[in-house]
Amino acid sequence: MTPLALTMGDPAGIGGEITLKAWRALRHSGPAFVAIDDQARLRAIDATVPLRPVASAAEASAVFAEALPVLAETGGAVASIERAAALALAGEVGGVVTSPINKSVLYAAGFAYPGHTEFLAALTGGAMPVMMLACPALRVVPVTIHLSLRDALAALTTGLIVDTARITHAALRRDFGIAAPRLALAGVNPHAGEGGALGAEDEAIVAPAVAALRAEGIDATGPWPPDTMFTADARARYDVALGMYHDQVLIPLKTLDMHNGVNVTLGLPIVRTSPDHGTAYDIAGRGIADPSSLIAAIRMAATLAAARARGQHPAP
């Protein structure tokens, strides 16, 4: 199978440590990946992990069981992302797994994108990116992503909800093998607005989106009261929850399963996943970072890449 590309992330964070730990965990079972990173940096983190410089991603699978294959990249986190995306577009890797970056540091250096999601969309053709977080118990999609709550509510429209839901529906069919995805749309206000008594957004913006999606044959329901839609019984009734703003759906997922959560970018021509945590500066360099989310991201990227390679697209 074509290997995956793993980016370096923030050099001062835990990305290098969890990369090395992920290789130790997966070296015999796979999936194989190539680290687009600075070999000297990785060696300084843990000199006991064998590293193997490779000239191309194609060499990675053959050496993966014996050493971590490294495509040398000393240009930093952004250069690593750019190179990984180019390899994926060229079909030299099956997908991209990104290590955590610190957005504020990149902004200070002139980075023009809100985060990985938007940057990768620009690198791969400018498609509308949709961010999904997934763990075994739950999949969630925020309709608005890296915006303040005030700006998110101002940006929320029926059209944006419909576009996000369409991309999510298509990805669940193509990449996750769900023939008839069930989409649950959260309300904006407490109790989904209580018929307008607690805010007009649910009846004016969310409900028309649900109606439009259902008219297209998409199994969409809502607006759901946000405070009750994440119980075990409620989760059994849908395949993905769409929230209207970032924290509305990311808090439930990370509370349920922080260690196995995976960030997946939908709507791109390439597969991209990442762990659901940040750079963790407070524990960087101490050798205690948990690689579970990165390992889950690598495994999910391999699964999604395999589905695309098979042309998986179940009939409705």
Check whether 254 is labelled as a binding-site residue: yes
Check whether 28 is labelled as a binding-site residue: no
Q: d(Cα 51, Cα 106) in Å, to the nearest integer?
A: 28
Check whether 313 is labelled as a binding-site residue: no
170: left (phi over 0), alpha (psi -120 to 50) or beta: alpha
272-275 and 219-224 as β-strands: parallel, antiparallel, unpaired? unpaired
Residue pointed to by tokens 């070999």 = 39
Maximum distance among all Cα pairs of the chain, rounded to whole angstroms = 63
Q: Do residues 312 and 176 touch, judged by C-beta distance below 8 A?
A: no
| Helix intervals (H) in the chain | 15-26, 39-45, 60-63, 77-89, 103-108, 116-123, 149-155, 158-174, 201, 207-215, 232-235, 246-257, 292-310
Q: Which residues, listed in sequence order, are joined to residue 138 by a DSSP beta bridge?
A: 135
**Count of other CB atoms within 10 angstroms of residue 41:** 15
Check whether 246 is labelled as a binding-site residue: yes
Q: At 294, is the secondary structure helix, strand, or coil?
A: helix
DSSP state of 125: T
Provide the angle, in degrees to the nearest 10, between the axes of the packed helices 292-310 and 15-26. Answer: 60
Q: d(Cα 172, Cα 140) in Å, to the nearest integer?
A: 12
Check whether 103 is labelled as a binding-site residue: no
DSSP state of 260: T
Q: d(Cα 62, Cα 93) in Å, to the nearest integer?
A: 14
Check whether 117 is labelled as a binding-site residue: yes
**Annotated binding residues for a divalent metal cation, as ranges?**
146, 191, 246
**Annotated binding residues, as ranges?**
116-117, 146, 191, 246, 254, 263, 272
**Annotated binding residues for substrate, as ranges?**
116-117, 254, 263, 272
